[in-house]
Amino acid sequence: MYKSPQSHAYPRAAISGRVVSTIIFAAILGLAAGQANAQGMTSQRMLMTTPAQAQMEVSPFYANRLRMASPQIVQRLNALQAQSKQRGWTFSVGYTTAMDYSLEQITGAREPANYASRGPSQNSFATEAMSVENNYAIINHLPPIVLMCNASSGAFDWRNLGKVTPVKDQGGCGSCWDFAAMAAYESAYAIRNGSMIDTSEQQVLDCAGAGTCGGGWYMPVWDWMLTHRVGNESALPYTAHDGSCPAISGNYQDVAWGFVDPSGGVPSVGAIKAALCAHGPLAVAVMATPAFQAYTGGVLNEGPMSNFNHAVTIVGWDDSKHAWLVKNSWSTGWGLNGYIWIAYGSNNIGYHAAWVQAPSNRIIINPHLYDLIAKYRLIPNPGPIHEISPIQQKTQMQNMQMQQH
């Protein structure tokens, strides 16, 4: 898991809109105090004696970063604070580690042209694949998956059931699509098998053909995983750079994936809740803005938007907040230890929401799954690979038979 130099501390609280203004004022005073050092007064002493410092009821992590912020960062936060007052935002902003990068560096959701119309056929495949997988599990005497989730509940959080892996850090690479895909898969694996895994996002980045540090899309990752296996993070650690596909073995495939709403766009709140309960955390797209980049707490409520540029994972909801609980991949130095609450309908959250299913680790994948893949012509472009998958073996055999006749 890639770690940026700024991601060692863990923020514990959000900064309120009122207090951020005082913090920024304190930071400015701190800069002035630096100029007073020649007169025997240190910046630390000046900060400790200002009324603004005494009013700081904030995360020590964000408060400390703000003390060291450049005038440019302070100016950006002041501008966001002004917008917050004008627009009635219900969230706070601060000097997150994400602000050490440009927004373009850390967003990279790029939807392939053919995926917008693929929903109906993909969900037909998913329905058949899930039926094949469930019947195979019954034949092999596997216990059914019990999902402790009710879509009619006022609130739900998959973390409370231990089915969400730790927040990771994509660094200055636009691989959000990769991390969203694997976050959903890791949770699906935990739900199906009762154990946590840490998959190699670097292998996905280098081998899946789903994107690069310049952007990509999460669904082609799951296409690739139908016929290829992903290894552990320890086998190929994340570097936040594009690389060549290595010859490593893996253990993790998927058996199906589907759209929450096959017609596309943003599904209804009820549909997203139902999918969260039926399948686990969902990979989705969202519009990340400068305010999103500086988010430190509260409910992000910038309002409706029609565009998207970032991929994240929804892990829960809270109707009292009217918001989704979202896992990001910008380290724990952003947001609420790497999470954000986003209001229903804000920032295009939930665009092309999709789920993925992991198989049981106690049995081999049902061979009939490959028949379904061939039936629906879901033979993904594997990119540079160093192994022949079962579907490729079958395709090669069929081609040879056709040539013989």
Report the alpha-carbon distance of residue 94 to residue 97 in Å, rounded: 10
CB 221 within 8 A of CB 321: no
Report the alpha-carbon distance of residue 72 to residue 78 in Å, rounded: 10
176 catalytic per annotation:
yes
Q: Enumerate residues 6+ apart whose C-beta is below 8 A from 204.
A: 178, 181, 182, 210, 221, 224, 230
Report the alpha-carbon distance of residue 376 to residue 306 in Å, rounded: 31
241 catalytic per annotation:
no
Report the alpha-carbon distance of residue 285 to residue 209 in Å, rounded: 19
Q: Looking at 176, 213, 279, 347, which residue is catalytic? A: 176
Report the alpha-carbon distance of residue 245 to residue 202 in Å, rounded: 9
Distance of CA 388 to the CA centre of its chain: 30
Q: Looking at 228, 279, 310, 352, which residue is catalytic? A: 310
Q: Looking at 328, 347, 348, 366, which residue is catalytic? A: 328
CB 294 within 8 A of CB 94: yes
One-letter amino acid identity for 93?
A: V
Can you give the C-alpha Rg of the chain in angstroms?
23
Q: Which residue, among 43, 21, 32, 15, has the nearest Cα to 71 in the 3D structure?
A: 32
Report the alpha-carbon distance of residue 122 to residue 4 in Å, rounded: 37
Q: Whole-angstrom distance between the N-terminal and C-terminal Cα of the chain?
A: 51
Which pair of tokens denotes residue 273?
């809740």
CB 378 within 8 A of CB 256: no
CB 350 within 8 A of CB 272: yes
The number of CA neighbours under 13 Å toward the Cβ of 215 is 13
Report the alpha-carbon distance of residue 195 to residue 163 in Å, rounded: 8
Residues assigned a catalytic role: 176, 310, 328
